Amino acid sequence: MGVRICSALAIAAMLVAAAAGGADDGASDKVLKSTSDHAKFKVLQQEFASGPEVTRACLTCHTEAARQLQLTQHWKWEFLNPDGRRLGKKSIINNFCTSVASNYAYCTTCHIGYGWKDDRFDFSVQENVDCLICHDTTGNYRKAPGFAGHVVTQETEFPPGSGNRLKPVKLGPIAQEVARTSRDNCGACHFFGGGGDGVKHGDLDSSLASPDKSLDVHMDALGNNFACATCHMTAGHQVPGSRYAPTAVDRGGARLRGKEYKTNPTTCQSCHGQAPHKAGAAKLNDHTDKVACQTCHIPAYARGGVPTKMSWDWSTAGLMGLDGKPMVRKDAKGRVVYTAAKGTFVIAENVVPEYVWFNGRVTYTLLGDRIEKGAQPTRINHFEGSAGDNRSMIWPVKVFRGKQAYDPLYKSLVVTHMAGTDDTAFWTNFNWEKAVAVGMASVGAPFSGKVDFVETESMWPITHMVAPAKDALRCHDCHASGARLEKVAGIYIPGRGSDHSVWLEVIGWALAALALAGALVHGTGRIAAARRRH
């Protein structure tokens, strides 16, 4: 009896062990993906009270990681333009939420660091580098606006007195699951640029976290499943392919393994070369010297069901409803198109890009640059290029139009203190003069005390959301009257309305008719003469 019981228990134990072993298939996947299981590292087997504590633990093994990070644009938010001007999020003014300066605690939610709450942030402190924002795989790591990039690790009411309670983030389990970056990591900030999902870029939004092939052939979750880093091939934490240093023209071929390249690896050509179309469509290869790949292969942006903002009018901000509370308006689909804090928006999906010549140079209007309120909008940035400079290609762009605050006496864009719980923040008191005075003082810029609004526009390259070949543009999308490239100057495009000359076509068709008539007359004569001879 005892032996039977013993045997039965042993069999049960073996069955359970087998079941547990069978359930380990997922762990096998994990083993195949990495040589390190971070859950086994003692230094990570603890509960962390703050982000910097996690970073300190990471640095015990990855000793140079923070130093690498601190050399990057992601850390500095700074870029020196080839024209010598200092750019980067830290310096520029855009026509979305306008400026980082004076709003650090909110904007730096998307900084890969902890604690950048004002202009005294110490960029040399290694433990302030945020490893988890790029290497979290759980999807549970998040940083709430207003905490200068810090993670909330204890339940917190924010803003204070609002009744809104923020759920704490458990850092220990997240630190134990770190791995290579994914679309979710990059997307945590880049999908939400401009203050919300899809707002800024138009070709980057949360639909790319898990897209299908029709949305993006490269990132297709069931196909190629590219991570961002597949194209933005990162070395030493330097991520190439920034829009501040765009490559408009790449005359190189497809890259070979083992060969060293010093050029930008994120271009289409770096994989597809200069003649990517097959023999049956070889005529398309004649376009690759003047037309960027994206022009034909991204027929529209914001195609994933998330709208992008196309314009933003700050001059209408500040309206209160009948109840005395800040007004909010929504469109028929329930999407916000007006808020008292931000003004009026136009949002759109499936947007056909505008097209411009682009040679890689971008010029900016910065704080202090003289601007005029007139018929032409102020260019926040502008893509340079022309048909004649031999360095340009025709590129698809999103042109974002808006109306934003400026100083009508000093004739300059302004820094506005938008966010904060203090009385001077625009989102608290809806008073432009007060908010701009504090914003301009924070950067030491002069302010007249008067605020007006000026029309602005900015350009954004369209380069994600690459459609399958079957959905790419067809000949008639450009070679026809009123087609997509109608406004692109300096180049002859057969079939295009502006290249359409009635007389030239009459003469051409007349010559063709004459040639046909001549051939028919000649042929008929030959046949008649031959019959006569026989």
Partner 1 sequence: MTKTVYVAGVAALCLLGIGLHAIDAHAAGGDWKRGRVYYQKVCTDCHTAKAGGAIAPNARTMADWTAYLNADKHAKGKDSLRNYASREYRASVKGTNKAAEKYADVPDEQLFNDIRSFMLKGAKDGDSPASCN
> Token pair of 487, please?
């406004």
Which one, 2 or 444, has the nearer CB to partner 1? 2
Instruction: State the DSSP string of 274-291.
Output: S--S-GGGGGGGGGTTTB
Q: Find the shortest distance in angstroms from Cβ 6 to partner 1.
A: 4
Q: Find the shortest distance in angstroms from Cβ 61 to partner 1.
A: 22
Q: Exposed e or buried b for every residue in 117-140, given b needs 16+ CB within 10 A?
A: beeebeeeebbbbbbbbbbbbeee
- CA nearest to 412, candidates 440, 435, 375: 440
Which one, 130 or 184, has the nearer CB to partner 1? 184
- CA nearest to 291, candidates 495, 485, 497: 485
Q: Find the shortest distance in angstroms from Cβ 32 to partner 1.
A: 13
Which one, 177 or 455, has the nearer CB to partner 1? 177
Which one, 90 or 309, has the nearer CB to partner 1? 309
> Token pair of 326, please?
């800040």
Q: Which residues bind partner 1 (CB under 8 A)?
A: 2, 5-6, 9-10, 12-13, 16-17, 19-20, 22-27, 29, 138-140, 142, 167, 182, 184, 197, 206-207, 209-210, 212-213, 221-223, 304-306
* CA pair distance 433, 449, nearest whole angstrom: 6
Q: Find the shortest distance in angstroms from Cβ 20 to partner 1.
A: 4
- CA nearest to 100, candidates 362, 312, 417: 417
- CA nearest to 75, candidates 37, 131, 36: 131
Q: Find the shortest distance in angstroms from Cβ 15 to partner 1.
A: 8
Q: Find the shortest distance in angstroms from Cβ 209 to partner 1.
A: 8
Which one, 5 or 502, has the nearer CB to partner 1? 5
Which one, 25 or 323, has the nearer CB to partner 1? 25
User: CB under 8 Å, gap of 24 or more: what pairs does 480-487 form?
Assistant: 484/352, 484/355, 485/355, 485/394, 487/354, 487/355
Q: Find the shortest distance in angstroms from Cβ 367 to partner 1.
A: 35
Q: Find the shortest distance in angstroms from Cβ 197 to partner 1.
A: 7
326 DSSP 8-state letter: B
Which one, 109 or 206, has the nearer CB to partner 1? 206
Which one, 158 or 430, has the nearer CB to partner 1? 158
Is the distance from CB of 366 to CB of 415 less than 8 angstroms?
no
Is the distance from CB of 57 to CB of 43 less than 8 angstroms?
yes
* CA pair distance 363, 382, nearest whole angstrom: 5
Place of tokens 């990059």: 186
